[in-house]
Amino acid sequence: MQLAESLGALVLLLLPLVSGIPVPGEHVDPDVIIKLSIALEPRDSQLLEDTLYAVSDPASPRYGQHLTREEARALVEPRPESTEAVRRWLAGSDLEHLVPPEDGQFIRISMPAKRAELLFGRDFKLHTRPDGKVARSMDNLVPIDVRQHIASIYSTLDFGTTTVQGSTLYPKFPFSKSARSLDSSNRSVCQDDPESVDLQDCNNTMTPACLRNLYNMDDPPVAAHKNSLFGVAGFLGQTAQYRELEMFVDTYASYARGANFSVEPINNGSNPQGEYPSGEANLNIQYAISMAHNVPVRFYTNGGEYRDYIPDLDINDPTIASVEPWLEFASYLVDLPDKDLPQVVSISYGINEHVLPKDYAIQTCNLFGQLGTRGVTVVTAAGNTGPGVSCMSNDGLNTTKFLPMFPSSCPYVTSVGGTEGNSPEFATNFSSGGFSEYFRRPRWQDEAVGGFLAEHGQRWKQYYDARGRGYPDLAAQAHNYPIYNHGVVEDADGTSAAAPLFASMIALINNERFNLKKPALGFLNPFIYKHGKAAFTDITQGRSVGCQGVSYWGLPSPIIPDAGWHAVAGWDPITGWGTPLFDRLRTLALCVKKHTYSARPGHVTENE
């Protein structure tokens, strides 16, 4: 499935949406609707990043001057000749009348599969390669004179129905599923008053009260501002249950009784109530609601599954296992009007970076960058794979290496690793971290990451790319979170718990900034690496573990003896800058340099 090699700059990606996906060798029904999305090469490939850093760096005179949707779109505007070349290609198959008139980076068009087959000159079917991997038989699909204008193409198959299915993907963010009744032995950790919490009890059960105590979140929340919105992403059939939230709040966060969340479906997503897969979604929603009390929370439930990935030893059968449809999710958020855009989005999902075609990952990351220019903070869980699980390349060379995780490897998101314990906190042994192979280290990381590499980078140098973006950026508690799921209390482990916790802090701070007529914090990393690091507790104990000889799929894989990253003084690739102290972070964020902002929805409308 190495389409990037056969098509140069072009990557053709098919994202099946629902059940009924064709099996290898099976033709797609000619009447099935193909939704084609063509991303054009931008006029200026550097403009997006330069603008993002300008509005996100506190040292910049443009700091906080976030863009509107239209202004952000203009950053990636293609050249007119690129748009014309693609439209001319579509016109040759009598499809131009289906293309919306507005210009922009994306050309989106829907057509029956039989029309798409005429356009591409091939049947839509699956075939099995000699190496056993499954791929779409759609190579050599775009004329050479058109390819140079296209960054990526991806399509979805719309089968007209949507079913909610549990993820068959390997458990990236696994639960420690020790279901238990809420009896008297648990009462000492079920109080919701942080001042009455015994931190020793918190080592066994990390409740919202424990987290509020540990991270100095004791102050009562400020009233919700009309522009505040906290988004939580859901994928792969995970459903957030209202009844479970009610029980959780009654037990662990009585101050939030009556709080609820709204649901916004993406790509035919749904959120049915009842006996559906819900552990991950319940974890995310229950802690978003309890930790960001008073800030409205919205659950973005994403339909669809991405199966045209590049298999590796951890996820190696697209007919069984699927990946989150990242591009559709990010594209949807980018298309939202300014007034409907959340200021913080928490994502507790991820995948080995090399499983995604590079152009697909870059396109998704750039969309997250566009969100940053509009004042959105994208927070991602680093992962639960240490330096990697299977630790082998999927390019046919079978190279032994560490495996970075996406989307945390994207430089335009804020990645959260995992800790446990208190007095002191220490890194969890499963917390993912490392260095991207797709994205170069951004300049705001040079000092911190360069310092780490100079002192600690030699030991594993043959297993990672020292030029890559380092992650995570910070860490938070990721062990023994109680959640309600299917009517019982379960203990949850993983950085998928740490991400919504930190995102909740940013949602609370943004809410205060809005009440002070300040803009949202937006893309955080330049702020964190320059100033915000003073608000973090440096974690210097603990290490990650990985590359132990068995993949998530249960297959034999390379062993790297003692593989893992150690938590050290300063930034490190397991806990980043450490864990946040909310009171300090809040003070720094509210006092950051002031500027004048233009009158736009959700932005400051007068001089500060």
Contact 321, 168 (CB under 8 A): yes
Contact 304, 150 (CB under 8 A): no
- Of 324, 305, 501, 478, whose CA–CA distance to 405 is shortest? 324
- Of 114, 117, 38, whose CA–CA distance to 82 is shortest? 38
Contact 571, 493 (CB under 8 A): no
Residue 306 and residue 321: Cα distance in Å, rounded? 9
Handedness of CA 556, 560, 566, 571 (dihedral sign): negative
Mark out the alpha helices in 215-316 (DSSP H runs). Answer: 242-252, 279-291
Contact 345, 379 (CB under 8 A): yes
How far, in Å, are 224, 226, 300 from residue 230 at the CA level? 11, 12, 10
- Of 552, 175, 565, 553, whose CA–CA distance to 389 is shortest? 552
Contact 111, 34 (CB under 8 A): yes
- Was 572 annotated as part of a binding site? yes
Helix (H, G, I), strand (E, B) or coil at 296: coil
Peptide bond preceding 404 in cis form (omega within 30 of 0): no
Helix (H, G, I), strand (E, B) or coil at 34: strand
Sequence-distant (≥ 6) Cβ neighbours of residue 406 within 8 angstroms = 326, 350, 351, 352, 353, 355, 356, 361, 364, 438
Residue 567 and residue 578: Cα distance in Å, rounded? 9
- Was 539 annotated as part of a binding site? yes
- Of 351, 277, 349, whose CA–CA distance to 318 is shortest? 351
- Was 570 annotated as part of a binding site? yes
Residue set of the binding site: 538-539, 570, 572
Residue set of the binding site for Ca(2+): 538-539, 570, 572
